[in-house]
């Protein structure tokens, strides 16, 4: 199976259909499970639709109760399942008790087949004090572990995030969840998060709204930030060089919370990004995979309009279109006529279908990860970068249908190195190519656009302020 096909196959959707005997009455509630995979280290989203609006459904997995919270539409309830990296493989029974409007109970059970994750063993060399710490460092590490345990027990019960989670940086993965690590020849606990490659000082952004639980240096993790996103979801950012938030701060999605560093037990600059759901150690990219916008936010009236700037009358003049490739053409322009020196630049990108048939495009939703298909002043990054990040392309994209004559419009304010800044009067050549989402040997299903567009340069004017 191809990587692209495997990504689609990983989304597990299980439905409890209404019983025929009750079809004439109100439909029974339905339950669906969605996940990137069903194996240790993965998070699963449970969605119940058509349930009683006042009484949440009840469900248990291997005897552990799920915590449901209301969705945006009446009668929709959601819950998360976290399969810890040490979760046992094999069948796991989900027992569900749904409540139809009016009080009638609908019971069902589903069996999840938890596959083997196949975590590798990795040998690393670090300073010996991080392998056999002295008495003072050992006591410090134990005290920090106890402190963290207390912090995790006091997380917010309400939901603090608004929708989908994004990656905090666009770096490729150099270390994965669950790796059995051997430091200086000594086996240690399995790796509890993802290590992302990044340069020293690169900005780290909050993947979703939350509250800062911790912003302190730790012995093993170095300078560390922990965000509480509510509902038992927490994320950790370790080995930082700088804090830009403090404990108790409320942060917004996309806010810069710190800078990448090489503090603590490391072999070089990188970001350790970890996710927990009430103690279950999970791959954060399994949460990025979930389309929480679709579950928690009202859908946009037009899925092709991805920015409020699209169609505004006071935008800079539209440049010429690129040459057509497989029925699509594109153009880009800055969102403003002029920018102050050092100000963040936002480019408005439009892709139009001028072919005879609808075009289906894999759209990368996260602007920080979009350089995988959209190069600003450079070529898009290679497929191997996406593969190395530990996420299949489906974890980052959604498939959009562009009808004949219609335009997909979105903003881009990131390059592969970070935010796009106005440094001088210049222009940015862009290149859009979804062939970078797939390896050369991949078989892409019929109808999915796979090509490359050389977009004419977008001229950016920088004001001198004279």
Extended beta strands in 267-396, E state: 270-277, 280-282, 328-334, 347-353, 359-364, 374-376
| Lowest-pLDDT range of 3-7, 185-189, 289-293, 317-321 | 3-7
More reliable by pLDDT, 144 or 386 = 144
| Lowest-pLDDT range of 64-73, 305-314, 328-337 | 305-314
Count how many residues are written for the chain: 466
> Which fold is adopted by the domain 3-116?
Immunoglobulin-like (2.60.40)
> Which fold is adopted by the domain 328-460?
Immunoglobulin-like (2.60.40)
How is the beta sheet containing 180-183 ordered, strand by strand?
Answer: 121-124, 180-183, 186-187
Q: Coil, helix or strand for 119?
A: coil
Please tell me the distance from the alpha carbon of residue 43 to that of residue 281, in angstroms, as a whole number: 9
pLDDT greater than 60 at residue 242: yes
Percent share of the chain, pLDDT over 90: 35
Please tell me the distance from the alpha carbon of residue 62 to that of residue 94, in angstroms, as a whole number: 7
Please tell me the distance from the alpha carbon of residue 429 to that of residue 332, in angstroms, as a whole number: 9
Count H helices and E strands in the chain, helices first: 5, 31
Please tell me the distance from the alpha carbon of residue 7 to that of residue 388, in angstroms, as a whole number: 14
Confidence band, pLDDT 50/70/90 cuts, at residue 15: very low
pLDDT greater than 70 at residue 93: yes
User: What does the block give as tokens for 268?
Assistant: 């070089």
Give the number of other Cβ atoms within 10 Å of residue 108's Cβ: 16
User: What does the block give as tokens for 233?
Assistant: 């979801």
- Closest residue by Cα to residue 205 from 282, 257, 140: 257
**pLDDT value at residue 396:** 58
Extended beta strands in 151-296, E state: 173-175, 180-183, 186-187, 194-197, 203-205, 210-218, 222-230, 233-243, 250-251, 256-260, 270-277, 280-282
pLDDT greater than 60 at residue 393: no
CB 239 within 8 A of CB 258: no
Please tell me the distance from the alpha carbon of residue 426 to that of residue 52, in angstroms, as a whole number: 58
More reliable by pLDDT, 362 or 457 = 457
Same fold? 3-116, 328-460: yes
Measured over all CA atoms, what is the biggest interatomic distance in the chain, rounded to whole angstroms? 78
User: What does the block give as tokens for 375?
Assistant: 């190069």
> Which fold is adopted by the domain 121-289?
Glucose Permease (Domain IIA) (2.70.70)
**pLDDT value at residue 395:** 41
pLDDT greater than 70 at residue 146: yes
pLDDT greater than 80 at residue 54: yes
- Closest residue by Cα to residue 370 from 431, 429, 415, 334: 415
Please tell me the distance from the alpha carbon of residue 305 to that of residue 322, in angstroms, as a whole number: 20
Place of tokens 């669906």: 32
Please tell me the distance from the alpha carbon of residue 453 to that of residue 359, in angstroms, as a whole number: 14
Place of tokens 């498939």: 399
Please tell me the distance from the alpha carbon of residue 100 to that of residue 114, in angstroms, as a whole number: 30
Rounded mean pLDDT of 138-143? 78
Boundaries of every domain in the chain: 3-116, 121-289, 328-460
């Amino acid at each position: 199976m191809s990587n692209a096909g495997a990504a689609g196959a990983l989304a597990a959707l299980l439905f409890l259909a209404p019983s025929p005997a009750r079809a004439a009455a109100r439909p029974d509630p339905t339950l669906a499970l969605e996940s990137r995979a069903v194996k240790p280290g993965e998070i699963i989203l449970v969605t119940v639709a058509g349930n009683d609006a006042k009484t949440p459904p009840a469900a248990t997995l291997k005897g552990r109760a799920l915590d449901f919270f209301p969705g945006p539409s009446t009668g929709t309830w959601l819950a998360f399942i976290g399969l810890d990296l040490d979760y046992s493989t094999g069948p796991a029974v989900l027992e569900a008790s749904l409540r139809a409007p009016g009080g009638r109970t609908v019971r069902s059970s589903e069996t999840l087949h938890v596959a083997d994750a196949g975590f590798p063993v990795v040998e690393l060399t670090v300073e010996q004090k991080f392998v056999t710490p002295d008495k003072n460092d050992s006591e410090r590490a134990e005290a920090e572990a106890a402190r963290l345990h207390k912090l995790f027990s006091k997380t917010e019960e309400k939901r603090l995030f608004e929708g989908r989670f994004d990656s905090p940086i666009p770096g490729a993965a150099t270390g994965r969840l669950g790796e059995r690590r051997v430091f200086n020849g000594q086996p240690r606990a399995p790796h509890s998060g993802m290590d992302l490659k990044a340069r020293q000082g690169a900005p780290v952004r909050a993947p979703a709204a939350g509250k800062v639980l911790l912003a302190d240096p730790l012995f093993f993790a170095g300078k560390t930030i922990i965000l509480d996103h509510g509902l038992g979801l927490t994320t950790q950012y370790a080995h930082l060089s700088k804090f830009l938030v403090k404990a108790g701060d409320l942060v917004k999605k996309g806010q810069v919370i710190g800078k990448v560093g090489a503090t603590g037990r490391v072999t070089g600059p990188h970001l350790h990004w970890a996710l927990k759901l009430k103690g279950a150690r999970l791959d954060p990219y399994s949460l990025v995979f979930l389309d929480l916008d679709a579950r928690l936010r009202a859908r946009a009236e037009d899925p092709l309009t991805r920015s409020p700037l699209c169609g505004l009358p006071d935008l800079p003049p539209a440049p010429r279109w690129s040459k057509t490739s497989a029925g699509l053409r594109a153009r880009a322009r800055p969102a403003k006529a002029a920018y102050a020196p050092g100000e963040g630049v936002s480019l408005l990108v439009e892709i139009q279908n001028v072919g005879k048939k609808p075009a289906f495009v894999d759209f990368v939703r996260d602007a920080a990860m979009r350089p995988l298909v959209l190069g600003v002043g450079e070529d898009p990054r290679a497929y191997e970068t996406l593969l190395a990040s530990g996420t299949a392309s489906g974890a980052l994209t959604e498939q959009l249908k562009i009808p004949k004559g219609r335009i997909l419009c979105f903003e881009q304010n990131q390059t592969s190195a970070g935010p796009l800044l106005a440094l001088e009067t210049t222009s940015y050549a862009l290149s859009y190519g979804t062939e970078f989402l797939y390896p050369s040997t991949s078989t892409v299903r019929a109808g999915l656009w796979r090509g490359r567009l050389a977009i004419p340069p977008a001229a950016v004017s920088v004001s001198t302020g004279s």
